[in-house]
Amino acid sequence: MVVLLFAGRWTASILADRWWAVQVAPAAVGFLTDWHLLRVILDLAAVLIASAWFIGHLLAVYRAVGSVQVRRNVANLEFREALTPGALLAIAVGSGAVLGVLVGGGASQWARDVSLAWQGAIYGMTDPLLQRDVGLYVAQLPVWRAAHSFAFMLLTLALGIVFALYLLVGAVRWIEGRPAINNHARIHLGWLLAGLALTLMWGYLLERYELVAGLGGVPDDALWRATRNVAPILAGIALATAVLSVAWAVRARHAFAAAGWIVLAGASLVGHWMVPPAIAGGGEPAADPGTLDRLARSAYGLELLREVKVPARGEPIPPRVPAYWNPSMVARVLTADSVDILSIDPAMLSVQGRPRPVWLAARTLPGSRMSLSAIADDRVGLGGEPLFYQAHDSVPRPSPTPLLELGEEAFGPGAPPYRLNDRQGAGVPAASWPRRIVLAWALQAGRLFGPLPPGARVDWWLSPADRLERLAPYAAWTAPVARVIDGELVWLVDGYTSTATFPLSPRTIWRGRQVGSLRAGFLGTVSALTGATHVFLRPGSDPLAEAWAGISEGVVEPASSIPGPVLRAAPYPLELFRRQARELERPGWNLGAGSGRVPADSNEPPRADIAWPADASGPQLTIAFERTSERRLTGLLLAGREEEGDAPRLARIDSAAALPSRGALETRWSRFPSYAALNDSVRDEGGRLDHGPIRFDLTPSGVVGYRMDFARRANGGTAVVWVSVAAPDERLGAGRTLVEAWSNLLGASVPTIAGAAPVTRLDDARRLLLRADSALRGADWAAFGRAWDALWKTLGLPPDSAKR
């Protein structure tokens, strides 16, 4: 019954997946079927091998047992009863089968490794130590290690169980202070010891490959030389020990076998714990730095990293396209009506044919409906309140109106496990009773046994990440990102490939495990309206992603098939960007630490923020680097959608053009008297003042920094009420708006004190004109130029107009 239940559930799952794939991606039917078959074959093969192994050894012990007695109690009498040979045989077979299921079950987790090893991957790069292609470590080594671990587990468990049973039945015992063993037990244990020695030899031969693969961290030269010299010696000793164990099994030469294992244990102890420290070489790298750098860049997608210098370039200019809002504030604005936020993502929205920077926020509405709001990020209302775009609007509105609304049939995060509908082409038909039984069993959906409307269809895997995970299970899929493409909501999902065996690359922690390589090789798209799903190979993908595309032929579409609007809307992979920043924190880059990490000593990579490029190509991820001891920025890592592909840029900041660190900026901005007055004013009104993130932008004049402060009103509203800015040469400014803050930074105005009457543009222009006149009378030409330029900016005229 147990076997039938497992077989029935597996059959129901594979049939359901095939029917589902026919509706979603017909080309994936063959791959999903092969994937299910491979998993069940691995499980069955491992269970059968392990069961046969343990049953065989238990039967060998059974042959040596004359009789086994068990205690019986009848009334107040206790006596011993001998088990019949049939009972002993049943116990041996049953115990072996149970052990086989326990040890062999779960082998389906090796499906990825087996598939990749069968396909192979060729990188065209060789490691500098063993001169093997990187693909050998990525594709073949994991299977070698899995097979070795399985064999070692079988041998050690069998040896322990067999020895314990022989000890229990008296085949191994102590006589007059000396061990004694009968011939049957000696032969049996001798061959097991020989197999264990050969397995250890196998492991010693793998040590060099495992060391180069970085499974114990990146090795130095001393450790590599020790392993290279010691591993073959240990393998030879293990082989000799196997021969001595066979000799002991054939003839009772106890001393030979004991000596072999004593020498092997001693040699292993010396070779692994004493030799490496003895020949320590001061931590010199195992290969030349150039080769190690090339491997590290390939492991984390930094081959195309471009480095630029950011010198001081005269008068600073403000951010070209400022970013006012951030995810936490957008969530606060939209959760006032107690709805669930599904995602908040920065994006470019086409408004009357012109791209506009917005935050797209998807949320659920009563009745399982979905709403998408677009909050303008480059502008705010007159009072600092958020502005919302509506469909077919050219100007955003202060009222929180949705951009799109979808019904309960929409696909998105938080969708139910399955859904019944009667739309043609949406889901799998559930007309016949056999099909309904299979679907109910596979989905654990008892509702399918009840009455269904005519033409009922079932759809499942409704969440974008779950949908792609089922279609391409070899990739790790991230949270979906919302984009509006041709007026329709489309979810974009990044698919990652990683490996722990990339040779000589730095290790990092990703999703709770240590990896030596991380690449975003796939781009998945899911239509929120129809559920249409596609998996594309991302441009510039690595050989590992290409190998998986070959394995799942028909599932992954080539990069050239990505529609133009989708490619332009696809963001730079966030998790890859953060790990790339973590790699740049290493000493060789001389950048210091990435700022924005919470907490500061966490193993997590630094947090990323956004900036808006002037060409409106899409949101640009940014991470600033700083040296804590110097309290200044040293570099800015940027990445976004570019014509030549997803290539990050590293802007190294010259010391003369550097900004203070985040901590220094926060301290200095908080000392502004007008900021303290603003804080008191907001509190007096029953509100609360919150800081936004400190953002850095690379402008033609250098790097500038700014921060938005938000007031949480007593009535639940949220607005931008204060802007703090910074430029090189220790220049700081603040004000109620970005224009006012930058004017204050240039020394052309004083920020308005909180509670005072708002200053109009005419007031600013009059004050700047008076300042320019005063500077002209005093022949202070530098002050006159600053005031004159600020005057033209305040009037909203191009800078060239002032020159004319």
Residue 603 lies in a domain: no
Q: Is the dihedral of CA 772, 778, 779, 783 positive or negative?
A: negative
Express each pLDDT in 692-701 by its tens digit.
Answer: 999 999 888 8
Which one is predicted more confidently, 109 or 629? 109
Rounded Cα distance, 278 and 358, in Å? 61
Within this chain, do residues 54 and 156 fall inside the same structural domain, yes or no?
yes
**Lowest mean per-residue pLDDT among 51-55, 259-263, 625-629:** 625-629
- pLDDT confidence of residue 602: 62
CA-wise closest residue to 420 among 408, 434, 412, 432: 408
Within this chain, do residues 116 and 261 fall inside the same structural domain, yes or no?
yes
Asked if residues 515 and 531 have their Cβ atoms less than 8 Å apart, the reply is no
Distances (CA, A) of 737 to 168, 237, 760: 85, 77, 12
Within this chain, do residues 234 and 156 fall inside the same structural domain, yes or no?
yes
Residue 780 lies in a domain: no
Mean residue pLDDT of the chain comes to 85
Residue 671 lies in a domain: no
Express each pLDDT in 494-547 by its tens digit.
Answer: 999 999 999 999 999 998 899 999 999 999 999 999 889 999 999 988 999 999
| pLDDT-above-70 percentage for the chain | 90
**Lowest mean per-residue pLDDT among 452-461, 624-633, 652-661, 674-683:** 674-683
Phi/psi-derived region of residue 555, left when phi > 0, alpha when psi is between -120 and 50, beta in every other case: alpha
SS3 13: helix
pTM comes to 0.86
Across the range 632-640, mean pLDDT stands at 91
Residue 590 lies in a domain: no
Domain end call among 406, 434, 455: 406
Within this chain, do residues 80 and 218 fall inside the same structural domain, yes or no?
yes
Within this chain, do residues 26 and 112 fall inside the same structural domain, yes or no?
yes
- pLDDT confidence of residue 276: 63
Within this chain, do residues 90 and 162 fall inside the same structural domain, yes or no?
yes
Rounded Cα distance, 506 and 524, in Å? 28
- pLDDT confidence of residue 425: 63
Within this chain, do residues 83 and 153 fall inside the same structural domain, yes or no?
yes
Position 627 pLDDT exceeds 90: no
Express each pLDDT in 745-796 by its tens digit.
Answer: 888 777 654 444 444 566 667 767 777 776 777 677 777 887 777 777 767 6
Helix (H) or strand (E) holding 330: helix 327-334
- pLDDT confidence of residue 804: 43
Express each pLDDT in 637-670 by its tens digit.
Answer: 999 877 656 789 999 988 777 888 888 898 888 8
Within this chain, do residues 240 and 132 fall inside the same structural domain, yes or no?
yes
Residue 38 lies in a domain: yes
Domain end call among 221, 256, 278: 278
- Sequence-separated (6 or more) residues with CB below 8 Å from residue 597: 604, 605, 606, 607
- Sequence-separated (6 or more) residues with CB below 8 Å from residue 653: 310, 633, 634, 635, 636, 659, 702, 703
Position 170 pLDDT exceeds 80: no
Could you list the residue range(s) of the whole structural domain that residue 339 is in?
A: 327-406
pLDDT band at 74 (very low <50, low <70, confident <90, very high): low
Position 683 pLDDT exceeds 90: no
- pLDDT confidence of residue 277: 61
Most confident of 181-185, 457-461, 684-688: 457-461
Q: Which residue has the tokens 């990146």?
A: 218
Within this chain, do residues 46 and 136 fall inside the same structural domain, yes or no?
yes
- pLDDT confidence of residue 339: 67
Position 197 pLDDT exceeds 90: yes
Within this chain, do residues 331 and 231 fall inside the same structural domain, yes or no?
no
Residue 548 lies in a domain: no
Q: From start to end of 34-146, where are the E strands?
A: 69-74, 77-82
Position 471 pLDDT exceeds 50: yes
Structure tokens at 786: 């600053």
pLDDT band at 273 (very low <50, low <70, confident <90, very high): confident
- Sequence-separated (6 or more) residues with CB below 8 Å from residue 31: 551, 552, 553, 554, 555
- pLDDT confidence of residue 392: 78
Domain end call among 278, 309, 337: 278
Residue 131 lies in a domain: yes
- pLDDT confidence of residue 756: 42
Which one is predicted more confidently, 399 or 569? 569
**What total of structural domains would you count in the chain?**
2
Angle, in degrees to the nearest 10, between helices 85-104 and 141-169: 150
Within this chain, do residues 246 and 372 fall inside the same structural domain, yes or no?
no
Within this chain, do residues 51 and 152 fall inside the same structural domain, yes or no?
yes
Residue 186 lies in a domain: yes
| pLDDT-above-90 percentage for the chain | 44
Express each pLDDT in 229-246 by its tens digit.
Answer: 899 999 999 999 999 999
- pLDDT confidence of residue 246: 93
- pLDDT confidence of residue 643: 60
